[in-house]
Each structure stands twice: as C-alpha cells, then as structure tokens.
Amino acid sequence: MTEKIRSRQQQILKLLLENKAGLSIDQIATLLNISRNAVQQHFVVLERDGYIQAGVLTQTAGRPVRSFVLTEAGINSFPKQYAWLSEFIIMDLKNEMGSDAFFRYLHKLGSHLSQSLLSRFEGKSTDERIEELRKVMDELGFQTKKVSDSGTNERTIEAYNCIYHDLAQKHEEICEFDRTFMSSLLDKAIEHEECLAKGGAVCRFKIVNK
C-alpha cells in the first residue's frame, strides 16, 4: 500500500477490495466503528486522489443509498511483487540461453521496443530527439537530465535512478536493453560511461556525434 494513504484510508480500501460490488458510507462506518462524517472525510480524499469512485445508486425504503467501489488506481495501490517475478523469469531465461545469447536477446528487445516509438522521433533534429527520449524515459519512471559541453559539442543524458536497479546489479546484460533502446531512437551510438548498477553516482549515456 502506498505510504501517502493513511491507516484508516487503507482500512477503507481493504474493505472495498473485499467487497467488489461496493459499500455505502453507512456500511463502512459500521464495519470500522467510526462516524459517518469521518468516513465522508476520508472519501473526499480517496475520491480526489482517484482511488475510489461512486458506484450504483440503490433505492431503499428510505433515501437512495450510493455505494462506492475501488478504481484501478485503488486496486493498484495494494502491494505487487513484479520485481520478484521479473527476477525469477530473467534468471531462468539467462540459465536457459547462456549469458551471450541473453545479451543478444536484450539487444533485440530494445531494438524492437524502440520501433513502436519511432513516430515520435521522425523528422526531428538530434537535440529534439534527445528531449523526446528524455520524455519517454521520464514516462517510464527515470529521473533524467541532459548535459551539454559547448566546447566539444558533446551531449549526455544522465539518469539519477534505474527503474530496474536490483535486476541490473545481478544481471549486467540488462543495461544492453537501455543502450540499444536509446541508440535506436536517437539514431546515434551510445557510450555508457557510468552505471548506477556498478556503483556509479548516475547512469551517464554519452551520445556519439558520428
């Protein structure tokens, strides 16, 4: 569960996860033994942040009762184990293929993925392509910065985090995916000058002007 969700709000989300058809404010107040007003205040935050949404309106003998359900964001706020599964798959694949073949596979994978994004780069200058690549990397979860040297006209992209850091530490072939992906989109060779997975302060990718 994400840290920014408060404990009581986590309890509300858990109840909604267990009751996919939805629950009303009164039902949640009863289940948690708190006031209706307290539930409403939590709902304001959870609905604003996109974790819950209004569900069906049920007509009762009294006033109509609105139920609330989890959104996809609400479901995704619960812990996942993608890293564990990824590590298992990569280790098994590498053992089956061998390190060299695994390296070539990641090179091919980076090249294939870049093809789906080429339309965003067509007709752009190198500097424009670099900025577009940074946008793509930021969308993937990287925190990046472009660094330019006016004297040598060298340009680098520095990433201050690695979105698969633990995997790259155990399987250095993972970095070939990044290098090929970036090189294909920029249509330039890439030199990986510094690597977080190898103890560097950043991942530094130098764009070769050739």
37, two tokens: 């007003």
Q: What whole-number percentage of the chain has pLDDT above 70?
A: 96
Binning the chain into helix, strand and coil, the percentages to the nearest 5 are 55, 20, 30
Each residue's pLDDT tens digit, 149-197:
877 889 999 999 998 888 899 999 999 999 999 999 999 999 999 999 9
Q: Which fold has domain 7-76?
A: Arc Repressor Mutant, subunit A (1.10.10)
Structural domain spans, the chain: 7-76, 99-207
Residue owning tokens 């996109």: 50
Q: Give the span between the Cα atoms of 198 and 170, in whole angstroms.
A: 10
Each residue's pLDDT tens digit, 124-139:
999 999 999 999 999 9
CATH superfamily, domain at 99-207: H-NOX domain (3.90.1520.10)
67 SS3 class: strand
Question: Residue 20 class from Cβ within 10 Å (0-12 exposed, 13-18 middle, 19+ buried)?
Answer: exposed
E-strand stretches of 77-177: 144-149, 154-159
Which pLDDT score, from 0 to 100, does residue 2 have?
A: 44
- Statement: the pTM of the whole predicted model exceeds 0.85: no
Which pLDDT score, from 0 to 100, does residue 1 have?
A: 46
Secondary element (H or E) of residue 26: helix 25-32
Mean pLDDT of 72-90: 86
Q: How confident is the model at residue 210 (pLDDT cuts 50, 70, 90)?
A: low
